[in-house]
Structure 1
Amino acid sequence: MGHREDLLEGAVRCLYEKGYARTTARDIVEASGTNLGSIGYHYGGMTNLLNAALERAIENWGMELAQALMSANAQELSGAERFERYWEYMLATVRTRRPLLLATFDAFIQMEHSPDVRTMLTNGMRDARRLWAEVFHGIDAELEPVRADQIGSLYQALVSGVLVQALINEDDAPTPQDLSAAIRAVAATL
């Protein structure tokens, strides 16, 4: 790897450990084995590097969640079992990825002052919606973009809402079984 990639990987590790607001340039240099001048040279500054790291880390987290549902043994589960397995895994990541997940809220605040961050979040949200539609229901967004966005939006709303509840108080967040029962109850009334 070159310095650019080393910096990015170091910044991702820092996000996992310290979050967005608490990560310093010196932390990244130490984690990456590079030097302070490399940040400006390769990324034009600390903000650009942290934003690139956050984008990669969130993308990695989303793929981890998707892979929990795409594993060979998950394919054999019923729809409800797959749904609950996903939420079990997602809630477990609140413990293991807490600083990263909290860093996403820093990015929400930053987007008010940075069109680049807003674009990154917009594109990431769109990709996430389409990923959830594919993973949960096998919907190809290229063939059915409207349906993929509709269904994916529901899952993304659930992810965002459950994530906030779990970050505030993990013991008070809904369980996978609560979410499954709620989906069934809502669907029965439509």
Structure 2
Amino acid sequence: MGHREDLLEGAKRCLLANGFARTTARDIVKESGTNLASIGYHYGSKDALLAQAYVSLVEDLGDAFEDGGKIESGSEPGSIERFREAWSNIIATMREPGSPWHLSMEVVTMGDRMPEVREHLVRAQREAGRGIIPLFMGGAEEDVRDETVDTLGKFYTTLMSGLIAQWTFDPEGAPTADELTEGLRQVIAQAVRESS
């Protein structure tokens, strides 16, 4: 690995151990075995590096869903069962020790104090919406249209944000995949009754 990759991996370890606010450039340099000048050369700033490290941590989780075969082959894309399975897999990652999801709440609460991180993650959130759709609906990420990202993608990322918040603040009371699925069933049943 070169300095760029070493910095990214070191920053990921620092984020998991210390979070955004408590990670210093010196921490990253120590963890990565590089030097301070490398951060500016490869990423522009410590905050830009931390933002990229966080995106990479989340992408690693997404890759595990796609490559790990965690969705049973029998569940139909777009089905209630697929909805339950996908949330079950996502929630499982929230239960794991060292889960990176708590970092999302840190970004939200820090708001404008880390503008470079926030700006980078705002841009990445749209692509997260595009990436999460195939997990639930099947198909390929590159085939997801912008209009679908602006509706279904935002729907799923809003559910994800709420779920992350609940798991961060109250893991014992946070919803399970079965509870989320039952809530969806109730919404669908009410919508069907109203349209009849």
TM-score by length of 1: 0.82
2:40 maps to 40
1:155 maps to 156
Deviates more, 1:32-41 or 1:138-147: 138-147
2:166 maps to 165
Counterparts of 1:98-177 in structure 2, within 5 Å, are 98=98, 100-109=100-109, 112=112, 116-138=116-138, 142=143, 144-177=145-178
SS, match of residue 13 in structure 1? helix
SS, match of residue 17 in structure 1? helix
SS, match of residue 101 in structure 2? helix
Deviates more, 1:8-17 or 1:141-150: 141-150
SS, match of residue 22 in structure 2? coil
Counterparts of 1:16-95 in structure 2, within 5 Å, are 16-67=16-67, 71=69, 74-78=72-76, 79-95=79-95
| Identical counterparts, % of pairs | 38
Which runs of 5 or more structure 1 residues have no equivalent in the other structure?
A: none
2:194 maps to none
Question: Contact conserved, 1:7 with 1:28, CA < 8 A, in 2?
Answer: yes
1:179 maps to 180
Q: CA deviation at 1:36?
A: 2.8
Q: Which has the higher helix share?
A: 1
Using a 3 Å threshold, how does the CA distance of structure 1 residues 88 and 72 change in structure 2: closer, same or farther? closer
| Structure 2 Cα separation of the partners of residues 46 and 32 of structure 1 | 13
Equivalenced residue count is: 188
1:11 maps to 11
Give the alignment's Cα RMSD to 1 decimal: 2.7
Using a 3 Å threshold, how does the CA distance of structure 1 residues 98 and 137 change in structure 2: closer, same or farther? same
Which runs of 5 or more structure 2 residues have no equivalent in the other structure?
A: 192-196
Question: Contact conserved, 1:59 with 1:124, CA < 8 A, in 2?
Answer: no
Question: Contact conserved, 2:10 with 2:28, CA < 8 A, in 1?
Answer: yes
| Residue type of the alignment partner of 2:182 | A
TM-score by length of 2: 0.80
